[in-house]
Amino acid sequence: MKYEHIIFDIDGTLLDTEFAVLHSLQDIVMQHLNRCIPIGELTFALGIPGEVTLANLGIKDIKEANKCWNDKMVKYQHHIRLFDGVRNMLDALHNKGYRLGVITSKTKEEYKTDFIPHGVGHYFDSVICVDDSAKPKPNPDPLFTYLKRNRVLAKDVIYIGDTQYDSMCAHSAGVDFGLALWGCHNSNNIECEYQFESPDKIVMEYGKQ
């Protein structure tokens, strides 16, 4: 195997959370700032920690707003699903002997409430949430934490995600990056070693090795 570990982002890579994230954020902005910001102007929030998003929007009580945001997500929970092919991909890679991991901008609590219910958490040997490292993506700290925790070298790892933040995190840590095109809004200028059109393409690339 070229890689021993295949690490995934969650939102936009494993889970299709875009509708729920952006519409609940729109609700929070209205609640805290009394402004209706179009969904298209909130897409910058995808892939970064909630507290960073709220600070960028000028919300003062970030802790309270972030709690409200998580509560609002429940309203849109029925829109959240695994992307097509993800479950089969994880099963195939796991059966092939790869160590699978997660690096996400979700908090540990958000990971438990947003991701675990989808029934694929058992595939992952190691999960790095935003509270597990000193600085969030796009800083390399989450990947450094993963490498140290698993005693693995950067050359033996690939990180797969859908945003520029994921790419920057990977390359700053000396790790190869695979771009998940199925969840990516704009692949222009996102540096990557590989592009995958669908989860099945990952299985074709690594499941055969």
Write the pLDDT tens digit of every residue in 158-194.
Answer: 999 999 999 999 999 999 999 999 999 888 889 999 9
Please compute the mean of the pLDDT values over residues 63-74 and round it to a whole number.
89
How far apart CA 91 and CA 88 sit, in angstroms, is 5
- In the predicted model, what is the mean pLDDT of the chain? 93
How far apart CA 111 and CA 91 sit, in angstroms, is 20
Share of the chain above pLDDT 90, in %: 81
How far apart CA 62 and CA 191 sit, in angstroms, is 32
pLDDT score at 118? 96
Confidence check: pLDDT of 1 > 70 = no
Q: Which of the four pLDDT bands, split at 50, 70 and 90, describes residue 208?
A: low
According to DSSP, residue 112 is labeled I
Can you give the C-alpha Rg of the chain in angstroms?
A: 17
Tell me how far the alpha carbon of residue 103 is from its chain's centroid: 7
